[in-house]
């Protein structure tokens, strides 16, 4: 398998391990945006979040919380990208914990926001709820 994160999980590629459970692994990012920037990954291979079984996601989230409390401080971002258009570079579900410091390092975000039409939001909410009700949990 050519997935770099699967190879890290197998021990074929070394990492600066922070924590490990039977279902997830946390390690320092080798190209950090700030001191303490780390990754938390499920040991189950899925390319995108919606492909991850619920139990694997829940078990990964527990480690994500533990690591965030240890490295995040008071200000940090948790980033998770899905797909190339969303800037995903490694196609294995992973969460970045990126501490933000007073020196300005960390993740820089510029949101292109505009107020949405309330009727459009109501229609979209109904559509999403219907899809969630039609899709069983994994």
Q: What's the count of helices (H) and strands (E) in the chain, helices before strands?
A: 3, 5
Catalytic residue among 37, 92, 94, 96: 94
Query: Is residue 98 within a helix (H) or strand (E), and if so which, with residue range?
Result: strand 95-99
Tell me, yes or no, if 45 is annotated catalytic: no
Question: What are the percentages of helix, strand and coil residues in the chain, rounded to 5?
Answer: 35, 15, 50
Catalytically active residues are 94
């Amino acid at each position: 398998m050519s997935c770099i994160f699967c190879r890290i999980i197998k021990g074929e590629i070394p990492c600066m391990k922070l924590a490990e459970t039977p279902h997830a692994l946390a390690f320092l990012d080798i190209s950090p945006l700030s001191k303490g920037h780390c990754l938390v990954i499920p040991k189950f291979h899925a390319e995108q979040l919606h492909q991850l079984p619920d139990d694997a996601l829940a078990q990964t989230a527990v480690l994500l919380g533990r690591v965030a409390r240890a490295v995040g401080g008071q200000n940090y971002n948790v980033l998770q990208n899905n797909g190339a258009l969303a800037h995903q570079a490694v196609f294995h579900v992973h969460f970045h914990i990126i501490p933000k410091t007073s020196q300005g390092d960390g993740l820089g975000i510029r949101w292109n926001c505009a107020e949405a039409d309330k009727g459009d939001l109501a229609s979209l909410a109904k559509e999403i709820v219907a899809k969630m009700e039609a899709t069983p949990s994994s």
